[in-house]
Amino acid sequence: MYRVGHSVTGANLGVCITLACANWLHFPFLISILAGYLAYKGSNAPDYLEMRWYDRKHQELRTLIPHRTLTHWFVPWLALGAYATYQVSQGSVYWVLVASYCAGALLHIILDLPNKKPILGLLPHTGICLKWWGSHEHQFLICCFTTVLMGIFIYYCFQGSWEYIANNPVTVVRDIWYQIMYEANRLVS
């Protein structure tokens, strides 16, 4: 999958994580929003952590870490994500930021898996790929699918509140804004 596809699917995941944090886990709104943003950033992390640079001499794009190797290995992302989730479950709210970033990266790896170029398997010297389709194929379809999933998630997140939201949209937006401002003020004071 290409950058745009990873960004769209990452944004979908980010919205879901923000809502889950704020709505179900009752985390502060600022942390919830930041967690969603980091999931979005994480969804491109395996590619940009390869540190791409342009080789003028050979006129080609190169990476410091070979493409689809170390940063595309799911094991460290999964381990760090699991550790961060454990810390969250123990009450360390800020670890949700790490967990979200790892979730974004894992989504990236899952969406790279059907492509034809292998990524690292369970052991780093093995390579896996499903060879279902090329990186440039089916991006639009996958993005539509994850967007629909996000829509369903949003629907269930606010189930029971939709009538109130529809009747009082200004109040809802104002309350969210006040909460964010309250948290921001507490942060700086």
In the structure encoding, which two tokens stand for residue 23, read together? 């709505």
Q: Which is nearer to Zn ion, 47 or 81 (CB)?
A: 47
- Cβ 147 to Zn ion, closest distance in Å? 20
| CB 78 within 8 Å of CB 106 | yes
Q: Which helix (H) or strand (E) holds 15?
A: helix 3-19
How far, in Å, are 4, 104, 167, 179 from residue 108 at the CA level? 12, 6, 38, 32
> x/- site string to Zn ion, residues 34 to 53, per CB under 5 A?
------------xx------
For the CB of residue 99, give the shortest distance to Zn ion in the complex, in Å: 20
Residue closer to Zn ion by CB (options 27, 73) is 73
Tokens matching residue 8: 């769209």
**Which of 112, 120, 139, 143 is close enough to bind Zn ion by CB under 5 A?**
112
Select 1 or 33, whichever has its Cβ closest to Zn ion.
1
Strands (E), 113-176: 119-120, 127-128
Q: Where do contacts with Zn ion occur on this chain (CB under 5 A)?
A: 46-47, 112
